[in-house]
Amino acid sequence: MTKPFVHKILTGKVKRMGHPNAEDRMDRPWESGIFKNIVDDNLWVGPEGFADDEVADKKSHGGPEKALFAYPAKHYAYWREDLERNDIGIGAFGENLVLEHADESTVCLGDTYRFGDSIVQVSQPRRPCWKPARRFRVIDFALRIQNSGRTGWYFRVLEEGNAGSGMEMELVDRPYPEWTIAACNEVMYVKKRDLQLAEQLASRELLAPNWKRSLNKRLRGQKSSDAKRVYGPNKD
C-alpha cells in the first residue's frame, strides 16, 4: 500500500472580514482561521496542532480532537469543476495538511501514523461548516461538501514532535479497518435510520466525543438541526 504523503502544510492567523451594515449575509461580519498559508519549514506539532496556527471558533474547531485538519489533494480538481471556479486549490478549506495517496476511502477512524517526529491519530471526519461557503460565496457549499463525501478528516496528536511537508506518513496501527472515513460519513449523513450502525460507530473508543454525542442523540430519538452549521449565524 502506498504511504500517504504530506504534499503541503499550512497555518494561518484569524482574520476578520465583512461589513457591519451589509445587507447581503455573505458580506456580514465574520471571522475565521480558514485563510492559511503554505509553510516550507518543519513545524512543531503540539497537542492542539501546529504551534503558530489559529482558529476563530474554538467551540467548533481546533482543540485536541481537531488538532490537524487533513484534506486530499485530488479533491481540488473536483471542486474547480463542480463550482466552475479556478481559485479552488491548496488551502481552500482551511486545511493544515494536503495529502497525496490518501482519501476518505483509504483512511480509517483510529488510524495512527508516524508523521516526522510526531505520532498522530485519526479522530473523526470533518463536519463541513458555513465558512468555506462564505469565503467562496456559494451558499450551499457545506452541503455540497457533505453530500460529496469529500470532507477530509481530523487528527489528534498522541506524541509531539517536529514535522513538515515532503514527509511520508507511516501507518503504525489500524484498529478499525471497517470504519473508513467514507463509512463514518455514510452513517452520519446517509444512513440516518440505521440505528444499529449508529450504535456500532458510537461505541468505537477512538471516535471523537462530539461525534459520539451526535450519534447518541440520534439513538435517543433526539433531533437536531444542521442549519446553523451549514448556513451560518446569518441565515435569513
Is 157 part of a structural domain of the chain? yes
* Cα gap 64→42, rounded to integer Å: 20
Instruction: Provide the domain count of the chain.
Output: 1
DSSP state for residue 98 in the 8-state scheme: E
pLDDT of residue 25: 81
Is 127 part of a structural domain of the chain? yes
Query: Which CATH number do you get for residue 164?
Result: 2.40.33.20
Is 107 part of a structural domain of the chain? yes
pLDDT of residue 227: 83
Mean pLDDT of 58-76: 92
* Cα gap 165→60, rounded to integer Å: 26
* pLDDT, the chain, mean: 94
Please answer whether residues 161 and 120 qualify as being in contact, where contact means their C-beta atoms are separated by less than 8 angstroms: no
Is 133 part of a structural domain of the chain? yes
pLDDT of residue 223: 82
226 vs 154 pLDDT, higher one: 154
pLDDT band at residue 54 using 50, 70 and 90 as cut-offs? very high
pLDDT of residue 61: 80
3-state secondary structure 19-75: CCCCCCHHHCCEEECCCCEEECCCEEEECCEECCCCCCCCCCCCCHHHCEEEEECCH
Provide the domain limits for residue 53.
5-231
Is 236 part of a structural domain of the chain? no
pLDDT of residue 234: 57
Mean pLDDT of 144-172: 97
Mean pLDDT of 156-163: 98
pLDDT of residue 101: 97
**What is the enclosing helix (H) or strand (E) of 121?**
strand 118-125
Q: Model confidence over 103-150: pLDDT tens digits?
A: 999 999 999 999 999 999 999 999 999 999 999 999 999 999 999 999
Residues 6+ apart with CB under 8 A from 144: 82, 138
**What is the enclosing helix (H) or strand (E) of 196?**
helix 195-202
Q: How many CA atoms lie within 13 A of 23 on its CB side?
A: 0
Q: Model confidence over 179-230: pLDDT tens digits?
A: 999 999 999 999 999 999 999 999 999 999 999 999 999 999 988 788 888 8
* pLDDT score of 59 more than 70: yes
* pLDDT score of 236 more than 90: no
Mean pLDDT of 9-31: 89
Cell 503554505, located at residue: 38
User: In one letter, which amino acid is 108?
Assistant: C
* Cα gap 92→86, rounded to integer Å: 11
Q: At 47, list the grid cell.
A: 497537542
Percentage above 90 pLDDT, the chain: 83
Lowest mean pLDDT among 6-15, 49-58, 135-144, 226-235: 226-235
